[in-house]
Structure 1
Amino acid sequence: MFALIPAGLLAGAFGYGAINVLYAFRRVPLDVRFTFHTALMSVNGVVMQSLMGLTILSTLVLAARSTGRARLLAGTASVLAAAAFLLTRLGNVPINQKIKVWAVTGPPADYAEILGRWEAFHFARTACALVAFLLVVLTTLRPVKEARP
């Protein structure tokens, strides 16, 4: 059951970012977007990495304590949480570093394409987190057929 909390918070945080923050970013001037994006990412860094780590760890524990199909679902949730982490570290974070510079110096000519890549990485990690959460829900809602040690 513990895996529900970090997985749900992770999916919710990424989902909120995809539904609300991202579209708000598109409605403000670029200098505002870059300044706010930089501030938001500096705060989110520790929180989101912690949530991703807790989701990976708790789903691994859930998989280890489960059997049969429940183990497969929990293991898949763990893989998806790890994928969200990798998408973040290898996709979003390098672009965040560029945006931090743009907040001071201004964007390059191809900034729209780079922001489009950031959004694609964000939607991909959001999908991974959401599916991972749904798998944890399915795992924990499945009826227990045998006693667990």
Structure 2
Amino acid sequence: MSRNALNLAWLVAVVATLGSLYFSEVKGFIPCEMCWYQRILMYPLSVILGIAAFHGERSVRKYALPLSILGIFVSAFHYMEQKIPGFAAIKPCAQGVPCDIAYINWLGFITIPFLALIGFILITVLLLMARPTEQGE
């Protein structure tokens, strides 16, 4: 299961990366400041996890987990900015698109930061499921 978990973590990162590019480049949704922070954390995971999955290096956890865990916090904060009235006033975006705007709102709760949050959580769980190699971490 550990090799499959690493491959699935990479797949989640790639889907999240392609999804964010689809929303901005095809749908024309301009990313806000918090969206950029999430991209900064997700995009490297696509590359790092891809290389690790190709070589079967489960010790990648020590590099990827900090990115995915930080991504959970950034995405959760961004989602709260969208869904909790008055929360966005705590730290408004300096310029550009406001961070509390929801380009999508599927089923009344699925927004782009929610999708990113699910992606980061899945990557974190899958990385924790990938047992370290015999050389250890």
Using the size of structure 2 for normalisation, the TM-score is: 0.46
The structure with the larger Rg is: 1
Using the size of structure 1 for normalisation, the TM-score is: 0.43
